[in-house]
Amino acid sequence: MTDTLAPVKARKLLIDGEPVDAASGRTYQTINPATETPICDVAEAGVEDVDRAVQAAHRAFHDGPWSRMRAADRQRILWKLGDLILEHADELGRLETMDNGKTIVESAKIDAPMAANCFHYYSGWTTKLAGETRPFNPAFFTYTLREPLGVVGAIIPWNMSMVMLGWKCAPALAAGNTVVLKPAELTPLTALRIGELALEAGLPPGVLNVIPGPGAVAGEALVRHPLVAKISFTGSTVVGQHIMRESAATLKKLTLELGGKSPNIVFADADLAAAVKGAASGIFYGKGEVCSAGSRLLVQSDIHDAFVEKLVDRANKLVPGDPMNPKTRLGALVSEKQMNTVLGYIATGKKEGARLVAGGERQPVDGKGFFVQATVLDDVRNDMKVAQEEIFGPVLSVIRFDDVEDAIAKANDIAYGLAAGVWTNDVKKAHTVAGRLQAGTVWVNTYNFYDVVMPFGGYKGSGFGRDLGAEAMDEYTQVKSVWINVE
């Protein structure tokens, strides 16, 4: 196993443009889940540090140049940050792979460019935000202004640190807000490095502060802080619900993206070779630690047996390997805890009557690491735990359906509504089913495609608000109506 490169230096919090120790002096070790060895010490933010970061962001918003800067200057800085992320994609990729266990291909070739793309795209929005004149009475000149909110608290998960940072910080900053970013305690390294790159790009001190620390302490303090205008969160439903309750006291605006249990529906008339590939990558990409993973595979009964046979063949070929090796396609789960959760779900599925047809075990690489085999559970009923709960690992639950109505009913019979896939060669069926699925994103004859121009977010229990696209700019701005008496 490649145990990384040069040693990674200890990391401090990034507050007001400076690397600083936690006020308590506390640090923790971040662990490489593929080797089970510590990567480096990281300063651990507590309540006092959150306050320092929020005060810095508040000063930067009210007294600093960012929100009042010429839009074209903000644009240049955000574009430059996108360039710097691309220039450092290999370094950032290695950091992310060490911290998270995902493959180097995913972190250096997909996540880092996707984060860069967010800064490039939203830099363009700085000069496109506009209000409107609304002429309705000659006695008044009336118009609207789109204004930033103030301090945005961004709380992101461990599965896609760079991508989530880009999704949240780029539109928030483009709109003129300042940000306090709390990355997940498990994966703080790329967020801290991108914070440094932001300063190099010319972002004024205090505009982007990065404070890793435990969610229950640092995250909680950010949510409760009266100077924070908005929380943009991606993570579990339970924490999302908690954040919603806690932010009521200070009436914060919220964007909540809360995961899913997305149906990937294969009709008998689909291109089956493409659908097998899409079903496998839909769940095994990112080791299944992906909010939009196609974790419920709905297969039409007529083709079920043949389809599952091909799928199992594919799953068996996808073996865990050294995440630093560019040929590896299945990395390590993020932590021992997450691995045990996933293995626990596999055991539950078997107990509930599902049939294990591929994988199912921990499979260390060179004797180490939190790796789990690509796993397929067949004969799953939609009311089983493994069909209803987010497992967040490389585990696919296969469910049969009979016809279009049955497929739609089963697909929608779930608390979540983040994404869905449809595989069919019948264009009418594709449109009908896409229209009736309760999901924020529907992919037809493809899966897990993203672009910064296309909004992303949930229906039902998957949360509300939208990341990406023009829609994200609405999440980070507010509208002011101005009336000028001209009589």
Q: Does 236 bind ligand NDP (CB under 6 A)?
A: yes
Pairing of the two strands 419-423 and 263-266:
parallel
Determine, following the binding rule CB under 6 A, whether residue 345 of this chain makes contact with ligand NDP: no
Q: Which range touches ligand NDP (CB under 6 A), out of 78-86, 177-185, 201-209, 419-427?
A: 177-185
Stretch in the footprint of ligand NDP (CB under 6 A) among 74-82, 168-176, 236-244, 273-281? 236-244
- Residues 253 and 244: their CA atoms lie apart, in Å, by 9
Q: Does 159 bind ligand NDP (CB under 6 A)?
A: yes
Strands 178-182 and 151-155: parallel
Binding mask 278-297 for ligand NDP (x = CB under 6 A): -------------x------
With binding defined as CB under 6 A, does residue 106 bind ligand NDP? Answer: no
Is 397 a residue that touches ligand NDP (CB under 6 A)?
no
Binding mask 363-392 vs ligand NDP (x if CB under 6 A, - otherwise)? ---------------------------x-x
Q: Is 220 in the site for ligand NDP (CB under 6 A)?
A: yes
Q: Which of 20, 104, 223, 437 binds ligand NDP (CB under 6 A)?
A: 223
Closest CB to ligand NDP among residues 173, 291: 291
First to last CA, the chain: 77
Q: Which is nearer to ligand NDP, 97 or 247 (CB)?
A: 247
Token pair listed for 17: 């443009």
Judged by CB, which is closer to ligand NDP: 106, or 322? 106
291 is catalytic: yes
Residues in 119-158 at the binding interface with ligand NDP, rule: CB under 6 A: 155-158
**Sole window of 32-40, 202-210, 213-221, 271-279 interacting with ligand NDP (rule: CB under 6 A):** 213-221
Measuring CA to CA, how many Å separate 187 from each of 32, 156, 159, 363, 439? 10, 10, 8, 22, 28
Determine, following the binding rule CB under 6 A, whether residue 166 of this chain makes contact with ligand NDP. no
Q: Is 114 an interacting residue with respect to ligand NDP (CB under 6 A)?
A: no
> Are the C-beta atoms of residues 383 and 399 closer than 8 Å to each other?
no
Q: Catalytic: which of 44, 118, 291, 475? A: 291
Q: How many residues touch ligand NDP (CB under 6 A)?
A: 28
The active-site residue, picked from 257, 289, 390, 475, is: 257
Amino acid at residue number 308:
V
Q: Is residue 147 flagged as an active site residue?
A: no
Residues designated catalytic: 257, 291
Contacting residues toward ligand NDP, per CB under 6 A: 155-159, 182, 184-186, 214-216, 219-220, 223, 234-236, 239, 242-243, 257-259, 291, 341, 390, 392
